[in-house]
Structure 1
Amino acid sequence: MNFTSVGDLAQNLMLRRQGAGLKTDLTRLTQELTTGKRQDISSHVGGDFSALGSLKAAVRRLDAFSQARADFGIRLDATQTSLGSLQVAVSNYGTDILAASSLEQRDGLEAHAATAFSRLDQAVSYLNTQSAGRYLFSGTDSAQRPLASADDIMAALRPIASTATDVSDLNSMIDDWFFTPGAGFETAAYGGGSEVVKNVAISEQRKLDLPIKADDTVFRQMLRDLAMTALVAEDASVLSPSDERAVLAQVGENLIAVEDDLTALQRDIGLSQGVLEQEGVAADVERNSISLAVSEIENVDQFETASALEAVQYQIETLYVLTARTSQLRLTDFLR
């Protein structure tokens, strides 16, 4: 019969090696149970990290879009607030002026006209609103303030109004200043960009625009009518009282239309805010799904790890018992 014997030294080395291996497993399992993270991912994925890499890249893309949505959402919210403030500034103002001019209430008309400059100043202030260091109504050139001050606008218009000979002349010259390309408004009042904000990517599939600038027709019209009312209140022109009433009657009608236009702009911003929210919800669902897949690769099962840890502890205890018994063996004990 053949026997395979293991010497005392070899046996000791074998037990020490087994003990070291079990201690390594104990340390690994203890750390995995504590952190919940798998220590040897390479073995778990068979050395192929392509799937895990793709999942993490998808999470990074989703996080980038999430930040873009957050930034754009702040801008949309601030723009919506500014539009609401603008609407308050002109709310019912056009109706009041139109009613006072049609009833030929001189005192009432003058009282309403006297507030025109403060409303113009408010409108300019709201259109010069900043959010996170960017001007909301400057288009792509958000570092530049979009409008000159109300004082500067009035200073440019007074010399023009003083040369008007009648209602038609005054309206024509003021309209030219505000609406003619390359004229006063564009050279002396508007300082923002020439392009609107567009194609802001908020997800893989969706892009949004913010096509609103302080030089849009609706804002020019509002500023024009408030400035015109302020000019009348200052008697900056040589118009007769009846001509002034005619001017203010037209201003009242224009401001009523502007209020409707501002409501339409707020509606459009609200639609964009709704799309932003929907994309955010969809992205959260997708990110949670991908994060779960990553977690299944990187994280350990707590129950299985606890069971494996208990098994290793038992093996270590058994090894200690065997080592102790082996170390106590004597030749005389064997020969008895």
Structure 2
Amino acid sequence: MNYSSISDLGQSMMLRRQGAGLKTTLAHLTNELTTGERSDLSGHVRGEFGPLAGLERSLRRLDGFALGRESVDLRVTGIQTSLEAMQGAISTFGTDMLAAASLEQSDVLDAKLASAASRLSQVTAYLNTQLSGEFLFSGVATRQQPLPDGATILSHVRSIASGSSGPADFMTQIDAWFGDAGGGFETLVYGGDAVAQSGIALSDTLSVGLPFKADDAAFRATLKNLAIAAVISEGGVAVTAAEKRSLVSDAGLAMIAAEKALIDMQRDTGVTQGLILEASIAGGVERAVLEAAKSKITGVDQYEAASALEAVQFQVEALYVLTARTSQLRLMDYLR
């Protein structure tokens, strides 16, 4: 029978190697249990990182969409707030003008018209709303202020009134100034772009636009009729009492229609907010699915990791005991 033996030095080196290996394994398992991530990912996937790379690309894509949704949601919320404020500024003003025009009491009519100029300034300020240095109602030219202040717009209307030959001529010129392509409003007042923002991606399959601009018909009508009421209130147009009531009545009807248009805009903006919310929910669900798939590749089972760690700890303790006993052996003990 052949016997093989290991020298004391060889045995010591073997125990050290085993101890170092167990310590490395212990460190890996401790790290995995703490972080929930595999320490040797390359070994686990056997060098095949394609599926993991695909998952990470998809997650980065979702991050991009989420960031875009946050930005557009902020803008849409600002637009909705501005529309609500505009409606509040002109709320019941049209019906008040109609009611006052139906009475043959000039003092009552003048009292109702007295707030027209301030309402014009309020609406203009809301159309000039900006967030993070970008204007909400300038179309794609978000760095350009869409309108001057209300006083500037009113000064243009006063000039038209002073040069008109009567109420009919005044209204003809005002309609052309506010409504015609290349008219005074477009060339002297509106500073935004003619193109609205569109095609803003919320996900791979869904996009929205921000269609409202300060030169939209509803806004022009609101500004025009508030300016008409303000100029009439100031006596800027030479009119009889009957003509005054007629002009105010027409302006009141137009203001009622403009307020309805603002309400419709709020409805459409609410639909956009709903689409953003739906896209955010869908994006969250997709992210959860992708994260779960990624975790199956990069993550560790906490129970298995804890069991393996406990087993290695037992081996380390056993090795320490064996090393201690081996180091205490003496030749006399061996010869007995």
TM-score by length of structure 2 reads 0.96
- Aligned identity (percent) is 48
Which is further off, 47-56 or 112-121? 47-56
Per-residue CA deviations over 1:64-118 (Å, capped at 9, x if unaligned) read: 1111111111111111111111111111111111121122331111111111101
Match of 2:250 in 1: 250
Q: Distance in 2 between the 1:271 and 1:309 partners?
A: 54
Q: Distance in 2 between the 1:313 and 1:298 partners?
A: 24
Per-residue CA deviations over 1:46-72 (Å, capped at 9, x if unaligned) read: 111111111111111111111111111
Match of 2:121 in 1: 121
Q: Does 1:224 align with 2:224?
A: yes
Q: Which amino acid aligns with 2:25?
A: D
Per-residue CA deviations over 1:229-264 (Å, capped at 9, x if unaligned) read: 111011112222222211111101111111111111
Please state how far the C-alpha of 1:334 moved relative to its aligned partner. 3.7
Contact 2:167 2:237 in 1 (8 A): no
SS in 2 for 1:5: coil
SS in 1 for 2:28: helix
Match of 1:286 in 2: 286
Please state how far the C-alpha of 1:331 moved relative to its aligned partner. 4.2
Contact 1:94 1:253 in 2 (8 A): yes
Match of 2:301 in 1: 301
Which structure 1 segments of 5+ residues have no match? none
SS in 2 for 1:209: strand
Q: Which runs of 4+ in 1 moved over 4 A?
A: none
Per-residue CA deviations over 1:96-150 (Å, capped at 9, x if unaligned) read: 1112112233111111111110110111011111122211111111111111111
Please state how far the C-alpha of 1:321 moved relative to its aligned partner. 2.2
Which structure 2 segments of 5+ residues have no match? none
TM-score by length of structure 1 reads 0.96
Contact 1:129 1:137 in 2 (8 A): yes
Please state how far the C-alpha of 1:210 moved relative to its aligned partner. 0.8
Match of 1:49 in 2: 49
Number of residue-to-residue matches in the alignment: 336
Match of 1:11 in 2: 11
SS in 2 for 1:13: helix
Match of 1:207 in 2: 207
SS in 2 for 1:208: strand
Q: Distance in 2 between the 1:92 and 1:171 partners?
A: 23
Please state how far the C-alpha of 1:322 moved relative to its aligned partner. 2.1
Contact 1:69 1:280 in 2 (8 A): yes
Match of 1:39 in 2: 39
Contact 2:113 2:230 in 1 (8 A): yes
Q: Distance in 2 between the 1:25 and 1:188 partners?
A: 76
SS in 1 for 2:14: helix
Q: Does 1:97 align with 2:97?
A: yes
SS in 2 for 1:200: strand
Q: Distance in 2 between the 1:196 and 1:245 partners?
A: 38
Match of 1:172 in 2: 172
Contact 1:163 1:237 in 2 (8 A): no
Q: Distance in 2 between the 1:50 and 1:105 partners?
A: 82
Q: Distance in 1 between the 2:151 and 2:86 partners?
A: 18
Please state how far the C-alpha of 1:332 moved relative to its aligned partner. 4.1
Match of 2:75 in 1: 75
Q: Distance in 2 between the 1:158 and 1:317 partners?
A: 96
Match of 1:185 in 2: 185
Contact 1:146 1:214 in 2 (8 A): yes
